[in-house]
């Protein structure tokens, strides 16, 4: 009986040792998986490095408006083709402003993850012809593990890449911006009425808000003859997945 007990004890100890070894091995493998973590931003191509993959890029630039008044805010958008990956973003985008007096100002910024886009607002301070250019200096992503931080759809993740990639430099041509002394209105103002008026008032009359109050709070009461006359074939119904845009086409939801 004592001999059987010793055998059972020996087997139990062996099983425990094997389980411990497997647990240690799993922990070691898990730790190895998450070594060499990359935050996600591109870096300059290190001297003497040959990347596993090289991608050519195309740079794009847009700004609005193209004619603007001195002291107004200009919206500038830049992006690259192709896109990258949700775990990666490009660093050191250069947006170069050449002013009418010949001086330049360079603003450096990073892209968003995955889609390569970036934007900024800029206040123009000189009257005359400006030139704007977007320059991408190139970006290198070494092989390794890249982190994706918590977002609206997924939690924190780590993506592993066994090979490196280099995105080659590119730039746009200089584009012309005209700055004038007088302010450029984004939308022609609608003067307040001086005679009798009736509801519903057109939503284009934005300057009427002091006399309109909050009626109705979401725009026209949809589906009536007034709406259909002003905005034929558009959607008057608010929905929780999109902003209220009366000029949008009818919305079809897919589940």
Type and span of the H or E element at 97: strand 93-98
Domain boundaries, the chain: 1-33, 53-180, 187-255
pLDDT above 70 as % of the chain: 67
Binned at pLDDT 50, 70 and 90, residue 221 comes out as low
As a whole number, mean pLDDT of residues 55-59 equals 97
CA nearest neighbour of 57 among 37, 42, 79, 39: 79
Type and span of the H or E element at 27: helix 2-33
CATH number among 1.20.1440.230, 1.20.120.340, 3.40.47.40, 2.60.40.1930, domain 53-180 = 2.60.40.1930
Tokens of 246: 């009366």
Mean pLDDT in the chain? Answer: 80
- Poorest-pLDDT segment among 66-80, 145-159, 217-231: 217-231
With a cut of 70, say whether residue 29 has pLDDT above it.
Answer: no
pLDDT of residue 18: 56
Q: Which of the two residues, 11 and 200, has the higher pLDDT score?
A: 200
Q: Which of the two residues, 37 and 101, has the higher pLDDT score?
A: 101
C-alpha dist (Å) from residue 133 to 100, 129, 176: 14, 14, 9
pLDDT above 90 as % of the chain: 51
Tokens of 203: 């939503």
3-state DSSP call for residue 219? coil
pLDDT, tens digit, 9 for 90 and up, residues 75-94: 999 999 999 998 999 999 99
């Amino acid at each position: 009986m004592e001999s059987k007990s010793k055998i059972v004890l020996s087997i139990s100890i062996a099983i425990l040792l094997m389980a411990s070894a497997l647990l240690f091995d799993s922990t070691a493998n898990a730790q190895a998986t998450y070594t060499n973590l990359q935050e996600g931003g591109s870096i300059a191509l290190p001297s003497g490095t040959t990347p596993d993959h090289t991608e050519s890029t195309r740079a794009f630039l847009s700004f609005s408006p193209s004619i603007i008044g001195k002291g107004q805010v200009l919206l500038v958008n830049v992006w690259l083709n192709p896109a990258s990956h949700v775990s990666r973003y490009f660093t050191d985008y250069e947006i170069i402003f050449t002013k009418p007096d010949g001086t330049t100002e360079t603003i450096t910024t990073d892209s968003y993850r995955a889609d390569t886009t970036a934007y900024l607002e800029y206040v123009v301070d000189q009257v005359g012809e400006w030139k704007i250019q977007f320059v991408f200096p190139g970006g290198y992503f070494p092989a390794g593990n890249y982190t994706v931080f918590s977002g609206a759809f997924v939690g924190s993740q780590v993506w592993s890449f066994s090979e490196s990639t280099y995105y080659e430099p590119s730039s746009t041509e200089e584009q012309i911006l005209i700055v004038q002394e007088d302010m450029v209105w984004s939308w022609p103002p609608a003067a307040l009425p001086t005679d009798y008026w009736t509801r519903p008032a057109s939503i284009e009359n934005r300057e009427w808000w002091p006399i309109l109050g909050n009626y109705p709070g979401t725009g026209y009461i949809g589906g009536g003859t007034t709406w259909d006359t002003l905005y034929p074939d558009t959607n008057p119904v608010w929905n929780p997945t999109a902003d209220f845009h009366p000029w949008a086409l009818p919305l079809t939801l897919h589940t």
